[in-house]
Amino acid sequence: MADDFDLGAYLARIGYGGSAGPDLKTLSALRAAHVAAIPFESLDPLTGRPVKLDLDALQAKLVRGRRGGYCFEQNHLFRAALQAIGFEVTGLGARVVWMSPPGAPLGPRLHMLLKVDVAGASYLADVGFGAHLQDAPLRLEVGVEQPTGVARYRLDREGELLALAVHQAGDWRRAYVFDLTPQLPADYAVANWFTSTSPDFLFTSMLVAERLTCDARYNLVNTRLTERRTDGTISERMLASADGLAAALDAVFGIDPPVPVAELFAKIAAA
């Protein structure tokens, strides 16, 4: 863990004022506060800006700046915070299958997640899966349904892999598959470079943002803004102008975009 991580600034950024020890209560509270305060967003890949994973850059962007980030940024920052508190954390890599049809070949490891060991038990702590943000740590226990405040999850065994599934629309939907092999900084560097620069990867051509609170899940995909409330109600609207996009980024996600909003809107409206 780098010596220059500002834990106080991070806790203030996520609005956390409780006790902070390496225990499950703290881990659960930090996870919920993080995803509510620091949105998932893909604005840098979309606008051709480099995505940096060094701790200074992450703190400048996600802590001191009014920005979010995607999985590599989010989970690198969260790992630094957990390690500063005293948690034992291992970085893992996953293969995303959220949009894949059944039986499709697996792709590369392009998602970062964390394993956190607490009092002899292991938990998944992932604050960066933008297709379906998680609000709570999940026990590394196969075949057991795990309800959280906003969703239901389950880990399944698939050969030598573990598959995380979320209950959605009356069925279980796989999110990603992974194993417990620790990832090296070089593994993340290569995956981060590909996901932030490849014209074949969705983040370089699509605006994606998500924020999860105890009351609602907010998703923005290009100009489509969806709000799914915990009482089951869903509302959706299309953002018809740059002003509408600016208002949503500001009020819903708390994002100050890195380029003029008119430029962003032109990109996503064309898509």
CA distance 95 to 108: 6
Contact call for residues 67 and 257 (beta carbons, < 8 A): no
Which of 34, 44, 76, 111 does the annotation list as catalytic?
A: 111
Flag whether pLDDT at 220 surpasses 60: yes
Q: What does the pLDDT read at residue 149?
A: 86
What mean pLDDT do residues 118-133 have? 95
Once rounded to an integer, what is the mean pLDDT over residues 74-88? 98
Q: Per-residue pLDDT for 3 more than 80?
A: no
Which of 34, 44, 76, 126 is catalytic? The answer is: 126
Q: Is the pLDDT of residue 67 over 50?
A: yes
Decide if 111 is catalytic: yes
Which helix (H) or strand (E) covers residue 92, if one does?
A: strand 88-96
* Residue 71 annotated in active site: yes
Share of the chain above pLDDT 70, in %: 99
Q: How far apart are CA 125 and CA 78, in angstroms?
A: 9
Domains of the chain: 200-270 (3.30.2140.10)
Asked if pLDDT for residue 109 goes beyond 80, the answer is yes
pTM given for the model: 0.96
Q: Tell me the pLDDT band of 103, cut-offs 50, 70 and 90.
A: confident
Note if 126 is an active site residue. Answer: yes
Catalytic residue (one of 71, 76, 132, 135) = 71
Q: Does position 1 have pLDDT exceeding 50, yes or no?
A: no
